[in-house]
Amino acid sequence: MSVPPVFSVQKLDFFYGAKRALANINIDIQPHRVTALIGPSGCGKSTFLRCLNRMNDTIAGTRVEGQILLNGQDIYAEDVDVVDLRKRVGMVFQKPNPFPQSIFDNVAFGPRVLGVATGKSDLSETVETSLKAAALWEDVKDNLTGDALSLSLGQQQRLCIARVLATKPEVILMDESTSALDPIATGRIEDLIADLKKDYTIVIVTHNMQQAARISDLTGLFWLGELVEFSPTTEMFTRPKEELTESYITGKMG
């Protein structure tokens, strides 16, 4: 019995003004899996990722054609609450972006604004649970009032992940979220992603093909705004269906 996809993307075109940045994208994002999106710079990976929680809405002159269904609901329908959508589909960005506040207040921000946590003890529990889930609790439990910007870059990125987890999302999007980190910090984030997929659906954009091979279950190759190939990661890296995929993976192109 097949499990229904979390996201079902059908005939998606995306435009920046007159320029078509994505063309006829069809892809299903499976629950509790890590889906990696690879491809050269400017090929549409990040644009596609931002379509999944309507972050592109903030850019003037953009438009979407086709459908993106989240658990069967069209996220571009007129009656969709975009704030609620971004709560359900959280985003971790390329560079850590903690707020210039305490560690506690960073994680508590979403629950406070959205009214997810009620009362001080509920909020404290949410913060602790989120920091533990982001593998940061042991590092910061004695310094929750400390400045978030004083943390190392790797810790800041895990704090940003905790901030997303605090709003209890269904999907976590990660846009090259380890590209600014050193190898040790990158390894900790990769271990964390492997752990988080038990409870969340994760979609990552990465330029690092070794990373995609290490941590993803499914991989999609984007090229000039098109999805060239989408398949189980081990299959794509050992038996790619398309010649272009093989050329990109082996470094002949891109």
Amino acid at 173: L
pLDDT given at position 148: 98
Structural domains counted in the chain: 1
pLDDT given at position 113: 87
Helix (H) or strand (E) holding 228: strand 226-232
1 belongs to a structural domain: no
254 belongs to a structural domain: no
Domain extent, residue 66, equals 7-249
Q: What is the CATH number of the domain that holds 133?
A: 3.40.50.300
Could you tell me the pLDDT band of residue 251, with boundaries at 50, 70 and 90? confident
162 belongs to a structural domain: yes
124 belongs to a structural domain: yes
* Average pLDDT across the chain, whole number: 94
> What is the DSSP pairing of strand 218-223 with strand 226-232?
antiparallel
- pLDDT, tens digit (0-9, with 9 covering 90-100), for 60-70: 999 999 999 99
2 belongs to a structural domain: no
pLDDT given at position 159: 97
The answer to whether 187 touches 158, Cβ cutoff 8 Å, is: no
Is the predicted pLDDT of residue 116 greater than 90, yes or no? no
167 belongs to a structural domain: yes
Q: How far apart are CA 249 and CA 247, in angstroms?
A: 6
